[in-house]
Structure 1
Amino acid sequence: MPTDDFSVAFHIGAHKTATSHLQRSLLQASDDLAAQGVRYYGPDHFRLPGRTISALFGLRARRAKRPPQDQLALMRKGADRIVFSEENFIGTLAHTISRDIEFGYPNANIKIAKLARALDRPIDLFLCIRNPTAMINSIYSQLLRGNKVMPFDAFKAMVPMARGDWADLVTRLRATPGVGRLVVWQYEDYAALFDKICKEMLGAGIPAVAHHVNPRLSTQAVAQILMMHKAGSTGDLAKDAAKAFPVAQGFPRFDGFSDREHDFADMTYRAQVDVIRAMQGVTLLSPAQD
């Protein structure tokens, strides 16, 4: 694979790991980045009709408008580095309520391998991981915000924590042909690592937008959504409930897990992080490195 002229970076998520905050920060700084030789493309580009990564680079059976390398050159616009960010590429976590959620991203390595072959050059991957109970709670809030209403226990059955093995995901990605650097960080360290993440990904620092993008619903808001849905109410139930019971005004964030489940998840998550930290060819960012 050619490595000259320019490099490709891909922030693949994961979902509910401050991904939207990072993407909005990148978008806000995109003009300044372009002036420094970095082209950024995120969900605002890739979620338009016909502009998914799979469509643009011919990863589906349907023929692309142009060869993948030509498409990449068109998007590059002479930049030294091109940066993608689209968490939905490796899997979806709140797509429908009629099928299992892709927790653990079982097909992520296959999709990345196809993209690397199409681009014919190494892809540096950037991945944020998160404690599974906090992540599942957050995904559930997102599901409700999308008017896909179900009791938490029913949702939890669709996303068993055993599938959310970050060490397994990182192992598969590291073994994927065409992957260059693989940089990982924990959501719990995101605020402290923001500048370092940007420098690793972009080669430059950028300002951060305001926090609290897509916050979790409160316990009272979730209860109201479920009650109103059961009563046959329609409309944006989550918006109304979030306005009535906002976390920002002291209402506790929804948590569907027991203390025992949290303890088990914490222990498992720490073990997975330790495995990732010891992996060859993987950079695990940590505030302690400063």
Structure 2
Amino acid sequence: MTSAVMSAEFTAPFSPALVVPLPEVRQWRIHLGAHKTATTHLQNTLTEIRPRLVARGVDPIPLPALRRAGIAQALNERRLATRLPILRGVIAKRILCELLDPLREGPETVILSEEKLLGSPRRVFSDPIYPMVEHIVPTLATLGGRADVTLFLSIRNFAGQLASTYAQELRVLPPPEGGFESIRARVVANPPSWFDLARRIRAVAPNAPLRIWRQEDYRAHKREILSELAGCDTGPLPELADPTRTKSPSLEAIREAEALPRNLSSPERRRIVDAIFANAGEGTRFAPFSKEEEAMFEARYVADLARMRDLDPEMLMRF
């Protein structure tokens, strides 16, 4: 019986002699996100099949437990020690032992799927996108001192991803000055690139394999994708409904959320916006880019995928 199980079920007075130490992790399989790429559905599926995977020697830590433990926040803190390569691994291992071991079921292969490792969703609007990559990825890569580390990234066409991320961020923050139009003008003038993100990840973690899948492939190829993430065949997957919480809201709902007072607290804003989005109905699809701009993003997406294949034929999953 693992210490995690005992902590949940054992109610007698604590005795150190009863604690069985967990085996050291030998394989880390870390899904970084990105945001709004069917991550919630994937994470819910991993949680649903966790007992089956644990029996096969793989432990996917449920996202709610990762969030409660504050794993992403702890690893992303800009401590002086994590800037020094010689200390990075020690700090990362200490954080994960303290926060993660109580959540583990025992297997030596652990899956983490947590898009907040890349930072908050709005970091995709930065230039370059996800600027925390150069901090968090080297920290994660140091776990490879005595274990194998494999990184995973899920991506999608930016035309849809940027619009969905903007809607999600309205739950916690007021819109930027100018609303989405200010973002649209910037990303059309200087489009983001998934290839550049992949190249940045490879640059700071050259020894960690990077595997990438497209959200557009996820629905038809869930089992192949989750099996690749797990490092073993998952077996048949349950049919889970799409999460309603992450469903893209209508244009009318977004306009209502944008009009809320800017001085609302984050909890109050989330409560109100969640109610707006839940009660809005279908409405008009939020499509902030013109047809020409959507075509530009699609062409750049196709080019990014080709450049990934040229950089490393094994990087992009093919079906």
TM bin, normalised by shorter chain, reads 0.7 to 0.9
Offset at residue 153 of structure 1 (A): 1.3
CA distance in 2, matches of 1:135, 1:58: 26
3-state SS of paired residue (1:278): helix
Paired residue for 1:217? 249
Q: Does 1:164 align with 2:164?
A: no
CA distance in 2, matches of 1:185, 1:65: 26
3-state SS of paired residue (2:112): strand
Larger radius of gyration: 2
Shift of the 101–171 alpha-carbon distance from structure 1 to 2, 3 Å rule, reads closer
Paired residue for 2:94? 67
1:115 counterpart (140, 159, 163):
140
1:196 counterpart (224, 243, 248):
224
Task: Give the structure with the higher percent helix.
Answer: 2
1:8 counterpart (15, 28, 53):
28
3-state SS of paired residue (1:171): helix
Offset at residue 264 of structure 1 (A): 1.0
CA distance in 1, matches of 2:127, 2:307: 22
Q: CA deviation digits over 1:26-45, x for unaligned, max 9?
A: 12222222222111124312
Paired residue for 2:202? 174
RMSD: 3.4
Q: What amino acid is the match of 1:107?
A: M
TM-score normalised over the length of structure 2: 0.73
Offset at residue 158 of structure 1 (A): 6.6
CA distance in 1, matches of 2:312, 2:211: 12
Q: State percent identity of aligned pairs.
A: 26
- Please list, as runs of the form range in 1=range in 2, the aligned pairs for 1:1-290 lying within 5 A after superposition: 6-48=26-68, 51-53=70-72, 55=74, 60-61=79-80, 67=94, 78-94=106-122, 101=126, 104-118=129-143, 120=145, 121-150=147-176, 151-156=179-184, 162=190, 164-177=192-205, 179-202=207-230, 203-205=232-234, 206-213=237-244, 214-227=246-259, 229=261, 236-247=271-282, 251-280=283-312, 282-286=314-318, 289=319
CA distance in 2, matches of 1:123, 1:281: 19
Shift of the 57–66 alpha-carbon distance from structure 1 to 2, 3 Å rule, reads farther
Structure 2: any 5+ residue segments left out of the alignment?
Answer: 1-23, 82-89
Q: CA deviation digits over 1:179-206, x for unaligned, max 9?
A: 4332111111110121111110111324
CA distance in 1, matches of 2:148, 2:202: 12
**Which is further off, 109-118 or 120-129?**
109-118
Shift of the 178–268 alpha-carbon distance from structure 1 to 2, 3 Å rule, reads closer
TM-score normalised over the length of structure 1: 0.79
CA distance in 2, matches of 1:228, 1:68: 39
Shift of the 223–53 alpha-carbon distance from structure 1 to 2, 3 Å rule, reads closer
Aligned residues: 275
3-state SS of paired residue (1:24): helix
Shift of the 13–161 alpha-carbon distance from structure 1 to 2, 3 Å rule, reads farther
- Equivalent pair of 2:170/2:258 in contact (CA under 8 Å): no
Q: CA deviation digits over 1:46-69, x for unaligned, max 9?
A: 3225x3246379973489697368
Structure 1: any 5+ residue segments left out of the alignment?
Answer: none
**Which is further off, 116-125 or 130-139?**
116-125
3-state SS of paired residue (1:283): coil
Q: What amino acid is the match of 1:108?
A: V
Shift of the 5–240 alpha-carbon distance from structure 1 to 2, 3 Å rule, reads closer
Shift of the 47–117 alpha-carbon distance from structure 1 to 2, 3 Å rule, reads same
CA distance in 2, matches of 1:108, 1:269: 20
